[in-house]
Every structure is written in structure tokens, then in C-alpha cells.
Amino acid sequence: MVINEIEDAGKNILGYEPINKLLKMFAGPAIISMLASSLYNIIDQIFIGHAVGYLGIAATTIAFPIVTIVMSVGTLLGVGGSAFAAIKLGEGNKKDAERILNTVAGVLLVVSLCLVVLGLLFLEPILTLFGATDATMLCSKQFGGVMIAIIPLTTYVIALANMARTDGNPRLSMRALVGGVIINIILAPIFIFRCGWGVLGAALATACAQAFSVCVLVWYFTKCGKMRFNKYDFFHPHRVLLNRVMAIGASSGLVQISATILQIVLNNSLLYYGNLETIGGDAAIGAMGIVMKVNMVFISICIGIGIGAQPIVGFNRGAEQYKRVKTVYKTAAKWATLITCIGWSCCMFMPHAILQIFGSGSSPGFLNFATDCMRLFLGGVFTAGFQIISTSYFQATGQPLKASILSLMRQFILLIPLIVMLPIWFGLYGILYAGVIADLISATCVFIFIYREMKKLDKLITA
């Protein structure tokens, strides 16, 4: 169901339909879309774990910062463009919303092609910086090289999927991403096992899946979207609109950039301190790689809820319906917190069952350390739900500074320094303690920000 297909007295359904109904309508497809995106890497890890072992998992974990760098570009423009376009639609300014779409698409293509050239030229030094060793370099180059080559596809999938949701067609976005995952599920085992291509096969399967998703999304905005591609705006980006898009999307982009820096610091810390223990550095990186992918499942659901809530919040903020804005936030935060509490419970009480999926049972030492990673590093993940929704709220309401500060709080301001400092006293396990400490401190800070924001909303509601 698209936004403008249901109208009442000329009103957009975002302004009058019940909040629960709207959240189900928009968050449902967004959740499936985000899960589909996270499943690309999880599927690869599962098949690689069984076909290659922990060194293959370590290699993809080492190359993963390439993916997060690409995601930072896609989310900077895609999420920023989506949120800004939603505000413009709420104001009744469809022309500027369409200009935003074309500006995002045009700029993204140029930036992506530049990243491909630079990435392929400096692939080996980049992977060495990310923590690759002689044992993992070949697999890391195979996986990372393909991920760099498909940067234009990956960024377009992220950006256009977000824009399709704001255009009122979250189900199209969902179908494009889910279709890609299905293709990945079919091709990955064929390429990895039947063709014997190992890590390279996993990367090629992902490339084919991304190509499918991009074709669907480009077709939509070319042929049947309410917002459409047009040559003039595509090749003549609007600087004022672009600046605003980047300001709104900065928090999402910074989250991915900080995730990249975090992964680099984490990989190198695990490599160094892991080599001082019996488990070894490569195995420690592989164990943490699995744990991070498992965590991605629950986080993706919460991000999906936040994405689904954004156009509703943005539209009603533009329409000055502040009571509906507050209701959307509270409902979304409640759902996201429930999800992260369920995820936390799974990690605490059934870690072995989860880890066995990745083929880690053949190495008891590896499995034991991965279990400790899950229970300690993710010990505070139950707080992540309302933190993600709070950041999405500040994005949707055009408050990029607050959104950026909150986005950087856990990963950049807290977690990276803790990963560097705590191992000095606690060794390898100091890295694991850093995760839970960062979660609890950042949750406290986010609560203070959002509490004050809710008080401001109350004043606007009663004014």
C-alpha cells in the first residue's frame, strides 16, 4: 500500500491513520529489508565457516570494514535524503522531494566510482591496516576485492531502498532486498561448494544479489515511482539540498564510519592480544566476527523499526502534529527495546546453539572463546533498542547535531578508547569488558537527551 493510494479529504495517511497501523505498514517491510541486508554477510559467514573454517571467517571479518565504509556513503546520502524528502512531502513540496532523489543518485554514482578506483589500487595495504596476516591475506583479498568492485551497486541499494520507503512504497524496497537475499542463498552454496571457489564464491554470490536489487529499484524510480529520475537534476545536483541531506544523514554516515574505525581497532587488538593467548589472533578475530554478525540480526530489526518510523515522524513534524510525533517515538522505542531484550536473552542463555550454526563446533577452544565474546561483549545489548530509535527520531525531526552525538557515543567516544585501554590491565578479555561498559554508559546519555526532548514535545502539544 503506497502513501498516496489511500486518501481522506486530500490528506496523506501519515497524518491521520492510527500510529500502530502506520508503524506496522512501514516498519514491517523496513525490518525485513534490514534483515535481508544483514543476511548477506551472515549467509556468507555460515557457508564459509563450514567450507573454509575459522580462517575464512577471520578473512571476511578483516575485509568487513570495506563494507562499512561503503555503507557509510550509502546511508549518509540515502538516510539523509529519505528523511529530508519526507519532511518536504509533509510540507506538500513534491518538486523538492524529487530533486533530492536525483541529487542523491547523481552524487552517489560519482563518489562510488572514485572509491572503486582508490580501493582496488590500494587493496593490499588497506587489508594489512585492517588486520590481515599471511594466513588470511589471500582470502581477504578475494572477498575485499569483489566488495570494492561492487561499491556502486551496494551504495545504490542502500540509498534507493530508503528513498523508496519515503516515496510510499516500503514493500517494493522489501521485495528488492529480499529477492537479492534469495539469490544469494541459492548462489552462495553453488559457488562455494560446487564450484570450489570458497571465499571468492561467497563474494560473487553477493555481487549477483546486489545487481538484482539495484535493477528493481532503478526500474521503480524510472518507470512508476511518484518521485522519478530525470536527467537534469541527476547531472546537476542541487547544492543547497545536498548540504541539508548530508547534515541530516551525517549521524547515520558517522555511525558507519565509526563502525569502520571500531572494526579496525578491534581487529588489530584481537590480533595482538589473541597472539599472546593460546587461542591465537586469527581465531580471536574469527570468533568476534561471528558474534558481531549475530548481534547484527537484532540490531537490524531495531534499525528497521527506526527507518519505518522516520517518514511518519518527519511528516507529522512538518505538519506540526506533535502529539502524533511523540506517540510514534514511544511506540517504536517500546518495540525495539523488546527485540533487544530477546536478543540479549538468546546470547546469554543459548550461545552454544547459536555458534554451532557457523560450524565452530570442531574447535572447542574457538567455541569457548566465542561464547565468552557473546556473553561479555554483548552483555549490555538490551539497551540498544531505544538508543537506535532515539537517534532515528533526531534524524527525522531535522536535528542532525544531536543525532550525530548520540550515534557516535557508543562506538567512537566510548568503545574505541575502552578497547585500547582495558586490555592493558585485563589482556584479551579487557576487549570483551569494553562492550558492556560502553553500552551501559551510552544508554544513560541517550536517556538524558531523549527525556529532555519529550519534555519539549509536551510543551508544543499543550501550546
Q: How far is CA 228 from CA 102, 167, 199, 240, 311, in A?
A: 8, 10, 38, 20, 18
d(CA 163, CA 217): 10
d(CA 441, CA 214): 39
pLDDT digit string (tens) for the chain, length 463 residues: 344 433 443 366 777 788 888 888 888 877 887 787 777 778 777 888 888 777 888 888 888 888 888 888 888 888 888 888 887 877 778 788 889 889 999 999 999 999 999 999 999 999 999 988 888 899 999 999 999 999 999 999 989 988 887 887 878 888 898 899 899 989 999 999 989 898 999 999 999 999 999 999 999 998 887 788 888 777 778 888 888 888 888 777 777 788 888 889 999 999 999 999 988 888 899 889 889 888 988 998 998 899 889 888 888 887 888 899 999 999 999 999 999 999 999 999 999 888 888 875 455 678 889 999 999 999 999 999 999 999 889 888 878 788 878 878 888 899 999 999 999 999 999 999 999 999 999 999 999 999 999 999 988 888 7
What local confidence, expressed as pLDDT, does residue 3 receive? 43
Contact 131, 264 (CB under 8 A): yes
**Which strand (E) or helix (H) includes residue 11?**
strand 11-12
Domain boundaries, the chain: 32-462
- Residue 451's CB is within 10 A of a number of other CB atoms, namely 10
What local confidence, expressed as pLDDT, does residue 460 receive? 87
On the 0-12 / 13-18 / 19+ scale of CB atoms within 10 A, 208 is middle
d(CA 34, CA 305): 9
What local confidence, expressed as pLDDT, does residue 363 receive? 58
Query: H/E/C letters for each residue in 248-317?
Result: HHHHHHHHHHHHHHHHHHHHHHHHHHHHCCCCCHHHHHHHHHHHHHHHHHHHHHHHHHHHHHHHHHHHHH
Phi-psi region of 228 (alpha: psi -120 to 50; beta: other; left: phi over 0): beta
d(CA 103, CA 114): 17
